Amino acid sequence: MSEFNDTEKLTNEPAICGHECVQSYLRTLDNSPGVYRMLDAQQRVLYVGKARNLKKRVSSYAKPSGHSPRIARMISETASMMFLTTRTETEALLLEQNLIKQLKPKFNVLLRDDKSFPNILVAKNHAFPQIKKHRGAKREKGDYYGPFASAGAVNRTLNQLQKVFLLRNCSDSTYEARTRPCLLYQIKRCSAPCVGYISQKDYGALVKDAERFLSGKSTNVQERLAQQMQQSSDNMEFERAAALRDRIRALTQVQSAQGINPRGVAEADIIALHLEHGQACVQVFFIRANQNWGNRDFYPRTGSGADHAEILEAFLGQFYSDKTPPRQIILSHGIEDDDLMSALLAQKAGRKVDIVVPQRGEKMELIANATRNARESLARKMSESATQAKLLKGIADAFDLEAPPNRIEVYDNSHIQGTDAVGGMIVAGSEGFLRNQYRKFNIKGDDLTPGDDFGMMKEILTRRFKRLLKEDPDRETEAWPDLLLIDGGAGQVSAVRQIMQEMGVEDIAMVGVAKGVDRDAGKEEFHRTGKRPFALKHNDPVLYFVQRLRDEAHRFAIGTHRAKRAKSQMKNPLDEIAGVGPSRKRALLQHFGSAKAVSRANLSDLTAVDGVSEAMAQTIYDFFHERG
């Protein structure tokens, strides 16, 4: 991106607010394109906007009337403004979207769920390419196909591709270590190249067929398989003909499972918006190679009442900020600066990107389907939100809170006699479980006694709130909790209270959730500092809600612990020895039976292994006998 003009103007003139404040800036502005920020009396950014002509755009805010309720509220809270001029309108649009994501202003539309999308990767760094799911930066050598709407959509496609094309999905290290075919070969999902059951040429042909399918040329693949099946049958090679028949059936299943497969749309994102009572749902369908690769719904914050055009324009800018846009974007509603957005997306993609709002034909049918999905998804979301609001109010009433909590944090830890200890934090709020804000903590305390739950909880909370105090000491963001739920009784609550006091954080409500006398669910007792413990009625929805919160924290902590334990169990000390690659590792394990046996071997035994020289044997011996 080209350099921006470094002239940034912040004027501290008389303390006036509203349209008079905006009016005071007009004489300093020219007709340049750029970005403006509206700030309140505490210098918090209320709104970030772009303009083809800064003076013209800002003058529209200087009028005392004629604004929507949302814009009128924004202007009334404006106490100062900041401006940044740019050379082009496209630069202004790009800067606007970057600032919105960074500053999260109150009156801007904000995309809250912006995770990366998975792709299918056909790796090309091996003689027998691997096919696998990939998420993140595309650094690995190979061909990428996507995006897919979810990991589930990728996994379903990969499973079917295994049945059809028999490509391996094992890692290169696993491939190198195999001496006999794995279970996938037995169930006809892999051609077992690891043990030489297929030639490189024949495997390469399967890879090309898979890539043709992922590129939308599945009909050609199916016709070729049918011809091969007929030829095998004519040659009385009935076993091969049956295998080809199974592959054709699997390919047909893939095509039928994809649902909508538009004939006239080869590559596009179908983006439909439904807006109701100030809440929005944006539904995105991914069409690639004339195939439907799934859909995902988003619930952007609407900036206190933005209209369809502004919501969709903000969504496009933020959604494609870290994604390559397709050749065509099909929208349910028009946006104000579609030419500018097209230019920005084309610049990002390195080719033309069309933005269309269809009025008839197949594209209109696709939009109608996406809009229906958006409407139904928003209805479900609003219903869930209403229920959640009642539960949060019930929490406030039960625990004597001043208001329903916006953010509840629940902590738990997991270990086996102190080993592989981890802590987990889950978050819930008005939108239910906020899984993208869950956090795991690897317990680092070397001075902890194995199994010391108090010590572990102290480490978790200390790390959590030290970071909060460092990053947001004035509590201006929504990252601070209103309520902490602790798994335990009066002792745990007292210990946590002491930890929080040491850090100077004493105004956050906390409740200990302890099992009752018989340790049965439904007989939980709730403990608060300075108050007697109490229980809720067995059929109280708030009790069920607290149980769900506690169980979710336990599930998350247990899952994190199991993942850590599995990772530590999978570690092999031979992987840490310089010069010991997959081949030598396999030779050593085949000769000695285990890494432990290798560690006990003397030099003469080590040199007896194929591929292990005297120098390599010395390196291995020293690794196990000179540590510490």
Q: Which of 100-109, 167-176, 442-451, 490-499 has the highest mean pLDDT?
A: 100-109
Chain-centroid distance, C-alpha 436: 7
Whether 359 shows a pLDDT value over 80: the answer reads yes
Range in 11-25, 98-112, 250-264, 528-542 the model is least confident about: 250-264
Across residues 207-235, what is the average pLDDT? 78
Q: How confident is the model at residue 7 (pLDDT cuts 50, 70, 90)?
A: very low
Over residues 414-425, the pLDDT tens digits come to 765 556 678 889
Looking at residue 558, its pLDDT comes to 85
Whether 85 shows a pLDDT value over 70: the answer reads yes
Looking at residue 3, its pLDDT comes to 38
Looking at residue 1, its pLDDT comes to 39
Q: What strand order describes the sheet that includes 354-356?
A: 291-298, 279-288, 267-276, 328-331, 354-356
Residues 6+ apart with CB under 8 A from 366: 260, 262, 265, 270, 285, 287, 330, 358
Whether 521 shows a pLDDT value over 70: the answer reads no
CA distances from 14 to 21, 42, 55, 80, 588 (A): 9, 15, 21, 10, 80
Looking at residue 50, its pLDDT comes to 94
Looking at residue 511, its pLDDT comes to 92
Whether 103 shows a pLDDT value over 60: the answer reads yes
- For residue 387, the SS3 value is helix
* CA–CA dist 393, 402 (Å, integer): 10
Cα angle at 546 between 543 and 550, to 5 degrees? 140
Over residues 535-582, the pLDDT tens digits come to 888 888 899 899 889 889 888 888 876 776 666 655 677 877 888 888
Q: How confident is the model at residue 156 (pLDDT cuts 50, 70, 90)?
A: confident
Q: How confident is the model at residue 37 (pLDDT cuts 50, 70, 90)?
A: very high
Alpha helices in 571-594 (DSSP H): 582-592
Looking at residue 270, its pLDDT comes to 96
- For residue 612, the SS3 value is coil
As a whole number, the mean pLDDT across the chain is 84
Beta strand 8-10 pairing with 80-85: antiparallel
The secondary structure of 325-337, three-state, reads CCCEEEECCCCCC
Range in 232-241, 292-301, 371-380 the model is least confident about: 232-241
Q: Which amino acid is at 30?
A: D
- For residue 395, the SS3 value is helix
Range in 17-26, 411-420, 470-479, 605-614 the model is least confident about: 411-420
Q: How confident is the model at residue 502 (pLDDT cuts 50, 70, 90)?
A: confident
Looking at residue 9, its pLDDT comes to 43
Whether 115 shows a pLDDT value over 60: the answer reads yes
Beta carbons of 470 and 536 less than 8 angstroms apart: no
Range in 305-314, 354-363, 546-555, 557-566 the model is least confident about: 557-566
Across residues 582-600, what is the average pLDDT? 82
Domains with residue ranges and CATH for the chain: 8-103 (3.40.1440.10), 119-257 (no CATH), 267-379 (3.30.420.340), 407-568 (3.30.420.340), 573-625 (1.10.150.20)
- For residue 357, the SS3 value is coil
* CA–CA dist 268, 469 (Å, integer): 45
Residue 22: count other Cβ atoms within 10 Å of its Cβ. 22
Across residues 443-463, what is the average pLDDT? 74
Looking at residue 4, its pLDDT comes to 39
Looking at residue 91, its pLDDT comes to 92
Q: How confident is the model at residue 174 (pLDDT cuts 50, 70, 90)?
A: confident
Looking at residue 449, its pLDDT comes to 62
Over residues 58-81, the pLDDT tens digits come to 999 998 888 888 999 999 999 999
Looking at residue 15, its pLDDT comes to 66
* CA–CA dist 57, 54 (Å, integer): 5
Q: How confident is the model at residue 14 (pLDDT cuts 50, 70, 90)?
A: very low
Over residues 335-348, the pLDDT tens digits come to 988 999 999 999 98
Higher per-residue confidence, 221 vs 361:
361
Q: Is the pTM of this model over 0.75?
A: no
Across residues 137-146, what is the average pLDDT? 88
Whether 517 shows a pLDDT value over 70: the answer reads no
Query: Both ends of the chain: CA-CA distance in Å?
Result: 52
Q: Which amino acid is at 158?
A: L
* CA–CA dist 307, 70 (Å, integer): 10
Q: How confident is the model at residue 611 (pLDDT cuts 50, 70, 90)?
A: confident
Residue 301 phi, psi dihedral angles, 5° rounding: -70, 130
